Amino acid sequence: MLLELAREWGESAIYLAGDAPEAALPGWWEAQWRRVSELARRSKALLLVDEVQYLPQWSRVLKSAIDEVYRLRLPLHIVVSGSAALAVGAGTRETMAGRFERLVIRQWTARDLADAFGLERDEALERYVRFGSFPGSMGLVGDLPRWRAYVRDSIIEPAIGRDLMVLQPVRKPALLRQVFAVATGHPGEIVTLQKIAGSLSESGATATVAHYLQLLEEAYLVSPLQKFSAREIRRRSSPPKLIVLNNALLAGTLPDDPPTQSSDPQLWGRWVENACIAFVVANGQTVRYWREEPLEVDAVVDGAWGKWAIEVKSGPHTSRDLAGLLEFCRRWPEFRPLVVSDDEYKDVAERTGLGRLTWREFLWDGVAPLRG
């Protein structure tokens, strides 16, 4: 993205890579900043810094640069990017307050895969559910061992072994990895912290497990959804619903082939539900779940899309299975009900008087087809 911006701006842009070998040399940044300042004094300019978290004391250095831009009123735009969410987040919170606009680049969607790799819609959607959407892994899908090694070694391990453990106080690294493994083994499931702690080989207090789930969320790996409730205390004390934010993380830790609807319908249904809810989270919506035994709603959504209560049903179901959705919308009528299902079962929602989309329609366009 930054390189495309640099090409658009031509000679008015300067691109720097924070992870380049020369960036570690003493005086490198000062030399680059003199070059940028001279360019900005002549005309409008653009500075692009990729992998900014690798620059020593990057947030302090950048704060000083931005203050100089304001002081001298230089016509300079500064764009920095970083692949380590925790490192960039920590730096902006500590020293950059009031000096930046933050943009979180969401996970790739099935539509992005289709556009980038020339895939037909249904093929892109199938890949999105079975193999996730990390673009660097798409060329290896035909060689599953290599694909799985790429996801494990180039995505999961750097995110956990480098970003999380280096930047955050993790007293029990093995426990953190096990919490991540529990999340990838229970996508779309409501799991109590006590159950998570009890299933781990290393004992850990529930508070530690909750903290590690929060770290995984900050690293954009797992989202532990809170329960929807009018009472704040009840919401915070409820067990989380575990959503893995890219299905590649599921397939990368699975010893077998990713499921299909014919090979393992039950697991396929869980992966479709996880993909649908992760898609909503990636689009910046506030997502929770609702449950009052025996009733449940998979996702309660609030945000730019509007207010929606969404039930994902992959596979056979009847109107009785939508009782939770009906009850929730009776209590909170401001939420619109939506059933996301397979093509052959979409008439169930229609007979019940509920909004419906197939999971393919939902993962392609979100709720846009129903918003008009």
Question: What is the C-alpha separation between 216 and 219, in angstroms, rounded?
Answer: 5
Mean pLDDT throughout 13-36? Answer: 93
For the 283-372 domain, the top CATH level (class) is alpha beta
pLDDT of 90 higher than 70? no
Mean pLDDT throughout 150-174? Answer: 79
Instruction: Please report which confidence band the pLDDT of residue 281 belongs to, taking 50, 70 and 90 as the band edges.
Output: very high
CATH number of 2-95: 3.40.50.300
What is the model's pTM?
0.85
Domain residue spans in the chain? 2-95, 107-278, 283-372
Which residue, 154, 151, 173, 153, is CA-closest to 164?
173
Structure tokens at 368: 């846009």
Question: What is the C-alpha separation between 126 and 147, in angstroms, rounded?
Answer: 16
Peptide bond into 294 cis (omega under 30): yes
222-266 residue pLDDT tens: 999 999 987 755 556 689 999 999 999 999 998 889 999 999 999
Residue 232 DSSP class: H
pLDDT of 207 higher than 70? yes
Question: Can you give 356-368 as a three-state secondary structure string?
Answer: EEEHHHHHHHCCH
Phi then psi for residue 221, to 5 deg, are -105, -45
Question: What is the C-alpha separation between 305 and 284, in angstroms, rounded?
Answer: 9
Question: What is the C-alpha separation between 272 and 280, in angstroms, rounded?
Answer: 13
Between 196 and 253, the higher pLDDT residue:
253
Mean pLDDT throughout 108-116? Answer: 95
Neighbouring C-beta atoms of residue 79, cutoff 10 Å:
19
Mean pLDDT throughout 108-119? Answer: 95
Is residue 287 within 8 Å of residue 223, measured between CB atoms? Answer: yes
